[in-house]
Chain A
Amino acid sequence: MTIYSFWMFDRHCNCIYTREWTRSSPLVPSHSSHSSVSSTSSATTLPAGAIGTVNASNQNDSAKLLFGALFSLRNIANKLGTLPFNEDTSVTDPLAIHRKNSLKSFATGKYRAHFMETALGLYFCILSDPNVADLQIVLKDLYADVYVNHVVKNSASDVDFPAEEVIGNESFVRGVDQLITALPAFA
């Protein structure tokens, strides 16, 4: 059981955060025409003792492919699925009738991608081993605890990222690591 990586995309379809815990990097490398452009989006430095990379693959093809796959599958889920309208829940949850069917995860033989979309269009995605069951609660904690506390409430951090800007502040990186490395699923 392993967790390979964590990705965040914003509503402008840009990859704003990447954290990879794999030791080798077999991901698709970026085209040479793009890699020379940005000096601002170089990999963020990690606290000592941590493995893997932070923000090293944000402009890669693999980031774009992952976003495309998530976006398409999310649209399929919205279009095809209906949530049954339950009389009981509509009392406690008046917005129930507007809730759309949302994608939770997809899997291949080699990995499973867990997905969560926030109300403002932020995508949270964790790639793990196919055996890892359900990380929806983890994704929600990453959003409500780590992202809100270290990005939204942080007066020194952007919340609306211009092209190729990423989340680089130390407390956010630390918060993500603390949450994920504490999981039983993390090898």
Chain B
Amino acid sequence: MNTVESQQQPAQVNSACLDFLLMEIVPLSIRVSQTIERENKDKLRLKLEDLSLEPGTTHTNDPSVNELLFQNKDDLPGTVKILEDELIRSEDVHFRIESYGFSLGLRISELLLSQEQQTAHKLVELLDVMKFVCRDVWKNLYGKQMDNLRTNHRGTFVLVDNSLKLISRMSSSKGMTDTIGKAQPYLWFPCGIIKGILASLGIPASVTAEITQFPSVSFSIQTSIES
């Protein structure tokens, strides 16, 4: 992705760096959920101690010394044990990842539409908006356009990407089902992006994604607008 200053040359960043950053989205939200859960448990325990229903144990707060960056003892840097945590399927994590995408989507549409005034004028119908997502947005995010766009002309759209960059390199040592299971949370991020873009244009929608044939992904968008 380029950052555009109107007078200067666009600055460029190695896309591999961004890929690595995006890889951290799912582990990050799982760890946030774990921390929130742990804090809730601690608060509960302290409350019970106040009511002297449990023997008081001193609450130690030392961070681990050697290499652990987080308090989960399996979660060593460089390993992906965090993806085995059951929280990966919780509503919390789902919502958090989708909202990362949502805020990104809100801003991206501003950025892209400000660059090219002609495109903004052409966005008359819902179908044009969808085409904008398939062509311009995907080109900017993933370097390629969406491979397929289908609609029932009643507000439902299906967008297909044959090789979604976020998950195309994923491969688990436990086999294909495990790989698909671990790839699922990553899909909420582009769902959030699409949702954010539609929201910024004033179109409320719900977006879901499913892996039809790894690494091909299909996004289903339901809007309430008849076109």
With CB as the reference atom, state the residue of chain B lying closest to A153: B169
Q: How far apart are A26's CB and chain B's nearest CB, in angstroms?
A: 28
The prevalent SS among residues of A at the interface is loop
The reply to whether A159 and B169 form a contact with Cβ atoms under 8 Å apart is no
Contacts of A158 in B (CB 8 A): 78-80
Residue of A nearest to B169 (CB): A153
Cβ of B171: which chain A residues have Cβ within 8 Å of it?
150, 154, 156-157, 169-172
Residues of A near B4 (CB, < 8 A) are none
Contact of B182 among A156, A168, A170 (CB under 8 A): A156
Task: Tell me whether A149 is interfacial, beta carbon within 8 Å.
Answer: yes
Most B CB within 10 A of own CB, among A155, A158, A167: A155
Residues of chain A within 8 A (CB-CB) of B79 are 158-162, 165
In the complex, which range does the number of interface residues on chain A fall in?
20 to 34
**B19 contacts the other chain (Cβ, under 8 Å)?**
yes
Interface magnitude class on chain B:
20 to 34
With a CB–CB cut-off of 8 A, which chain B residues contact A156? 80, 83, 170-172, 178-179, 182-183
CB of B201 within 8 Å of the partner chain: no
B63 on the A face (CB < 8 A): no
Chain A interface residues toward B at CB < 8 A: 44, 149-150, 153-162, 165, 167-172
| Chain B interface residues toward A at CB < 8 A | 16, 19-20, 23, 26, 76-80, 83, 167, 169-176, 178-179, 182-183, 186
Contacts beyond the supplied A155-B167, A158-B80, A165-B79: 17 A-B pairs with Cβ under 8 Å: A44-B173, A153-B20, A154-B169, A155-B26, A155-B83, A155-B182, A156-B183, A160-B77, A161-B78, A162-B76, A162-B79, A167-B173, A168-B174, A169-B173, A170-B175, A171-B169, A172-B171
